[in-house]
Every structure is written in structure tokens, then in C-alpha cells.
């Protein structure tokens, strides 16, 4: 679906790029950030990739990613002054607003769902619309200017840092692995190591592989494509007549167990530690690992149960 002569999703990307450009400009002008040049260049490059990545040659896009990686590697990302409100004001405003402060966050999920279900725009466009709706509602509730919203947005994205782009990089990595035929390599290697006629061995390998590849890649969807191509389809569905509707969701759950255990899943495990300013960077993972391991064992047994019974 098009809006103003452009695909709706393209408009969301452009708006995202504009926001990142504002963040970059604020970073360049932040004299309290000793690394303002590197920080500004990082977010400006990211903004360009959103706004013009579709029109820039792939090789140039690749060099832009390398440039961003070089900024991170040389530790040129920093934090500065964000014109935050005083602690006293925050406390008084929290009492005034109360639980209504959660309304903007809830609107993001609700509006995204409604747009995704009841329109042809799709969930990603719905997320963009939801973000704008939530911003205006937050401004109305807090009685602050849009400018202050950008200040707080810059503070949050600087706290998240380079991990903000990790999900996109990992998704691209999964795509590359798929094209490279990693799934076929996995199938060949597994079939030479485990007895493929043993249902439990194949199920355990499938689920453990989902978890391990997710730990390495930080993305269960990328892991699912490779492990299902290499094990799920040829060994469980074709060889042992497994029901795809049964094993598919369980395999994804096994992958999500890996998500709970890896810093590569930055959105889940590293970003929260930054936003909450936790002293232990891996505190979230340390709290989650018992649940992750227990659920992984349960998923293996559950898939085996559906295979046998």
C-alpha cells in the first residue's frame, strides 16, 4: 500500500531516519559529550541507511556498516547532556500522572495490533504509526514539548548504544547463512554423527541446535530457517512423519530458550541492563538461565511426546 506515492513502509523508514538525524545533530552540538563527533557520525550514518539505503549501492551500504563498526571498536560512542528534569520534578509528576504514564507504552502494542489486523498496511507500518500516536499521547500527559521528547529519546538511544543495530545485523547474517546453504551442511554433519533412526536423538539435536544457534546469532528466526532446513524437514517430517504444526512452534520455543542465554540477543538481555543502569552487564542473563535450561529440557520432552504418541 502506498502513501504520498511511496510504499507505506518506506515512509516509516524515512521518518526513522529523520529522528536519527535529529539525534545526530544534537550529538554534534553536545559540548559535554567528549566523543560527540564519533557519536554524531554513528547516528548520522545509521540515519542515512534508513532514508537512502534502498537507493545506495550494496557495496556502499556494506562500507557504512564497517564505518559504524570502526566507530564502536575505537570507542568513539559517548554520552552527554540531555537536559533531564530534576529528580524532584520527576517524583511530583509521577504522583500527578499516576498509572496513566503506562498508557503510551500500551498504545504501542494496541495500535500496532489494530493496524496489522484491520488494515493492509502491515504490522511494521502499524508499529511506526503506534510510535507516533504514543509520542503525542505522552506529550499530552506529561505537558512537555516535543523537543524534550527528542532529548529523552537521545538519552535512551545513547544508553542502548551500538546494540540498537544488532538485531538488523543478525537478521542479515541469518539471510546470508541461508543463501550459503548452511542448512544442508548441518544436515550432512548431523546425519554422520547421530543415529537418524532414533527419534529422541534427532529431536534432542533439533531443539539443542535451535538453542545453540540462537545463542550464537541472537536470533531464533534465523536459527529456525537453518535448523529446520537441515534437521526438521528431512529428518523429522520426511523421515519420521512429524506434524509440522506440532514441531515448528516447539522448535521456536527451544530457540527462545537460547535467546534468554545470550548477550547477542541485545534487545532482550543487554538493552535492559543499560536502561536500568544495572552494575552487572550480564545480570539479566544470570537471572534467566535456570528458567531457560528448564524450558529447553521441557521442549525436548514435549516434542518427543508428540512424535511418539
Domain boundaries, the chain: 1-78, 86-144, 167-308
Q: Which of 150, 158, 120 is nearest to 22 (CA)?
A: 150
Please provide the DSSP assignment of 150-186 as one string: HHHHHHHHHHHGGGGGHHHHHHHHHHHHHHTTHHHHH
Q: Which single residue is written with the C-alpha cell 511511496?
A: 6
Question: How remote is the C-alpha of 22 from its chain's centroid?
Answer: 22
pLDDT one-digit tens code per residue, 46-85: 999 999 988 899 899 889 989 999 999 999 988 888 887 7
pLDDT one-digit tens code per residue, 110-156: 999 898 888 888 888 888 999 999 999 998 888 888 888 888 889 88
Q: Which of 154, 14, 132 is nearest to 83 (CA)?
A: 154
- Determine phi and psi for 2, rounding to 5 degrees: -110, 145
| pTM score above 0.75 | no
Q: Which of 33, 48, 28, 3 is nearest to 165 (CA)?
A: 48
Given this model, what pLDDT does residue 268 score?
81
User: Three cell numbers at 161?
Assistant: 548504544
293: confidence class by pLDDT, cuts 50, 70, 90 = very high
Q: Which of 253, 238, 117 is nearest to 187 (CA)?
A: 238
Q: Which single residue is written with the C-alpha cell 529519546?
A: 153
Amino acid at each position: 500500500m502506498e502513501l504520498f506515492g511511496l510504499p507505506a513502509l518506506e515512509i516509516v523508514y524515512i521518518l526513522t531516519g529523520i529522528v536519527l538525524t535529529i539525534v545526530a545533530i544534537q550529538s554534534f552540538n553536545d559540548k559535554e559529550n567528549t566523543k560527540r563527533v564519533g557519536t554524531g557520525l554513528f547516528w548520522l550514518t545509521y540515519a542515512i541507511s534508513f532514508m537512502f539505503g534502498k537507493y545506495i549501492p550494496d557495496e556502499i551500504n556494506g562500507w557504512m556498516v564497517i564505518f559504524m563498526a570502526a566507530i564502536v571498536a575505537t570507542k568513539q560512542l559517548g554520552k552527554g547532556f540531555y537536559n533531564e528534569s530534576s529528580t524532584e520534578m520527576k517524583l511530583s509528576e509521577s504522583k500527578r500522572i499516576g498509572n496513566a504514564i503506562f498508557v503510551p507504552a500500551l498504545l504501542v502494542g494496541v495500535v500496532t495490533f489494530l493496524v496489522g489486523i484491520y488494515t493492509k498496511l502491515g504490522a511494521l507500518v502499524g508499529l511506526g504509526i503506534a510510535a507516533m500516536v504514543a509520542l503525542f499521547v505522552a506529550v499530552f500527559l506529561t505537558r512537555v514539548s516535543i523537543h524534550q521528547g527528542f532529548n529523552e529519546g537521545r538519552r535512551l538511544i545513547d544508553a542502548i548504544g551500538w546494540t540498537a543495530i544488532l538485531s538488523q545485523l543478525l537478521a542479515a547474517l541469518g539471510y546470508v547463512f541461508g543463501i550459503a546453504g548452511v542448512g544442508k551442511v548441518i544436515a550432512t554433519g548431523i546425519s554422520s554423527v547421530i543415529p537418524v533412526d532414533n527419534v529422541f536423538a534427532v529431536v534432542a539435536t533439533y531443539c539443542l541446535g535451535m538453542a545453540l544457534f540462537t545463542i550464537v546469532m541472537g536470533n531464533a528466526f534465523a536459527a529456525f530457517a537453518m535448523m529446520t532446513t537441515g534437521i526438521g524437514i528431512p529428518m523429522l517430517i520426511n523421515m519420521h512423519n512429524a506434524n509440522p504444526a506440532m514441531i515448528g512452534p516447539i522448535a521456536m520455543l527451544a530457540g527462545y530458550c537460547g535467546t534468554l542465554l545470550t548477550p547477542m540477543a541485545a534487545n532482550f538481555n543487554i538493552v535492559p541492563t543499560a536502561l536500568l543502569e544495572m552494575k552487572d552487564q550480564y545480570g539479566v542473563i544470570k537471572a534467566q538461565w535456570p528458567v531457560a535450561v528448564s524450558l529447553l529440557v521441557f521442549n525436548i520432552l514435549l516434542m518427543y511426546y508428540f512424535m511418539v504418541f
